């Protein structure tokens, strides 16, 4: 598969037969089940592209101990139905992706519990796919969360509708913004405000998905409606923030290296918040300095406590499974796995504190490779 306009790269012949999630599971107690959904929001029309909004959802959840007897869950969501409609996909690509092993079982029974499970919803980066965040989803499900990933119509790599049609990514809205000259045709603030129109759409998708799963016959009796968190990567992080602006049922928000929406930059948000980012040279680079100050200002404006974790040596794609699964060599895969484990650990600490009332193992620090900044309230 060739590198395309979307933000993902599948390298032929590089797919590992190892399980996606190899994190130390000494603290884990649950097997993992998976269910998949196709939902259409008939109450909402896409103002830019037309038609009703469609999302594909994949839900990971704690399962009974005999879940290994169930059918293994594939890494990619309904890729058998979609790949022929996607540019640059081949049968060899399909075979390679389907050889990736996961730790999840399709439609396995949910584990009975005296306490209802917290819910976490996540949104991928532009042109990406919810499956590229399986490491986090499995890690959280092992630790007693129900975790739902969302593929968004046009913003995600593809979405399949109710009758089986595949709708590939369409980023013409975002490309049209890139043609504008800043500040000749539009100011940076105006650019972020216009981009916020699509970020709001993703936030609305998240809220729609939340309502759907809360009313789903399989999950509704097992979900704690008072313990809901969201996270997202890149534009998905902005969508997660917007979801909190739209819906105060969301009690904790994590943004993986995404610029917050213009509305949030101006006013902050209500829920406890965590940034996990790459560590830039913001002390010497003017552009990074502005970004760093803007994100600090956002955290200051937030109504609840906020954290920023900046990791040296990471990149924007470090917050996905891509490097670990599709890396060119074992060294690259080990480095990618290192960042996945670090990020997963920070996410678990944050969510366990705000959704499970457990202690949070985070302290302020600053070094050449890691900076943790706390904004108290």
Give Rg (Cα) of the chain. Answer: 20
Domain assignment present for 25: no
Contact 230, 121 (CB under 8 A): yes
Tell me whether residue 13 is in a domain: no
Over the stretch 9-53, which tens digit does the pLDDT of each residue have? 332 223 333 344 433 444 556 799 999 999 999 999 998 999 999
Q: Are 256 and 249 in contact (CB under 8 A)?
A: no
* Contact of 241 with 252, CB cutoff 8 Å: no
Count structural domains, the chain: 1
366 inside domain: yes
Is residue 18 situated within a structural domain? no
Q: What is the pLDDT of residue 295?
A: 97
Residue 7 belongs to a domain = no
Does residue 9 sit within a domain?
no
Per-residue confidence (pLDDT) for residue 302, from 0 to 100: 98
pTM assigned to the model: 0.91
Contact 376/248 with Cβ under 8 angstroms?
Answer: no
- What is the three-state SS of 69-106? HCEECCCCCCHHHHHHHCCCCCHHHHHHHHCCECCEEE
For the chain, the first-to-last Cα distance in angstroms comes to 48
**CATH number of the domain where residue 350 is located:** 3.40.50.1820
pLDDT at residue 26, rounded to an integer: 42
Residue 228 tokens, joined: 């809901």
**Predicted local confidence at residue 165, as pLDDT:** 96
> Residue 11 domain-assigned?
no
- Look at residue 357 in the predicted model and tell me its pLDDT: 96
**Within a domain: residue 211?**
yes
* Burial degree of 258 (CB within 10 A; 0-12, 13-18, 19+): buried
SS3 142: helix
Domain residues for 283?
31-375
pLDDT of residue 203: 98
Q: For position 28, what pLDDT does the model report?
A: 55
pLDDT at position 20, please? 43
Instruction: Please give the full DSSP string across 7-75, using - where no structure is assigned.
Output: S--PPTT---SSBS--S--TT---EEEEEEEEEEEEEEE-TTT-SEEEEEEEEEEEE-GGGGGSEEPPS
Distance CA 32, CA 286 (A): 46
**213, 59 Cβ separation under 8 angstroms:** yes
Residue ranges in the chain whose pLDDT is less than 70? 1-29, 65-68
Check if the beta carbon of residue 192 is closer than 8 Å to that of residue 228.
Answer: no
């Amino acid at each position: 598969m060739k590198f395309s306009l979307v933000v993902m790269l599948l390298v032929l012949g590089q797919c590992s037969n190892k399980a996606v999630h190899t994190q130390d599971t000494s603290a884990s107690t649950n097997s993992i089940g998976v269910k998949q959904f196709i939902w259409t929001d008939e109450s909402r029309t896409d103002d830019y592209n037309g038609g009703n909004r469609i999302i594909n959802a994949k839900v990971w959840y704690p399962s009974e101990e005999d879940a290994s007897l169930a059918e293994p869950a594939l890494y990619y969501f309904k890729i058998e139905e979609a790949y022929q409609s996607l540019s640059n996909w081949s049968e060899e690509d399909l075979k390679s992706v389907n050889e990736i092993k996961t730790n999840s079982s399709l439609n396995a029974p949910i584990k009975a519990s005296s306490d209802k499970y917290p819910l976490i919803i996540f949104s991928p980066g532009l042109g990406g796919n919810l499956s590229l965040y399986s490491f986090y989803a499995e890690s959280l499900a092992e630790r007693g969360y129900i975790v739902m990933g969302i593929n968004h119509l046009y913003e995600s790599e593809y979405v399949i509708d109710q009758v089986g049609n595949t709708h590939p990514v369409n980023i013409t809205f975002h490309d049209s913004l890139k043609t504008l000259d800043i500040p000749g045709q539009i100011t940076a603030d105006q650019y972020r405000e216009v981009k916020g129109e699509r970020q709001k759409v993703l936030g609305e998708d998240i809220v729609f998905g939340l309502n759907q799963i809360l009313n789903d016959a399989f999950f509704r009796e097992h979900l704690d409606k008072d313990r809901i968190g969201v996270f997202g990567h890149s534009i998905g992080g902005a969508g997660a923030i917007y979801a909190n602006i739209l819906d105060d049922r969301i009690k904790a928000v994590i943004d993986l290296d995404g610029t917050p929406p213009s509305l949030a930059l101006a006013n902050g948000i209500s829920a406890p918040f965590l940034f996990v980012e790459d560590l830039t040279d913001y002390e010497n680079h003017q552009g990074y300095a502005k970004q760093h100050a803007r994100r600090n200002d956002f955290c200051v404006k937030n109504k609840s406590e906020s954290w920023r974790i900046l990791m040296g040596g990471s990149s924007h794609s470090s917050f996905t499974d891509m490097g670990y699964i599709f890396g060119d060599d074992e060294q690259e895969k080990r480095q990618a796995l290192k960042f996945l484990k670090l990020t997963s650990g920070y996410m678990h600490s944050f969510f366990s504190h705000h959704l499970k009332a457990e202690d949070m193992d985070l302290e302020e620090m600053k070094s050449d490779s890691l900076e943790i900044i706390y904004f108290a309230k």
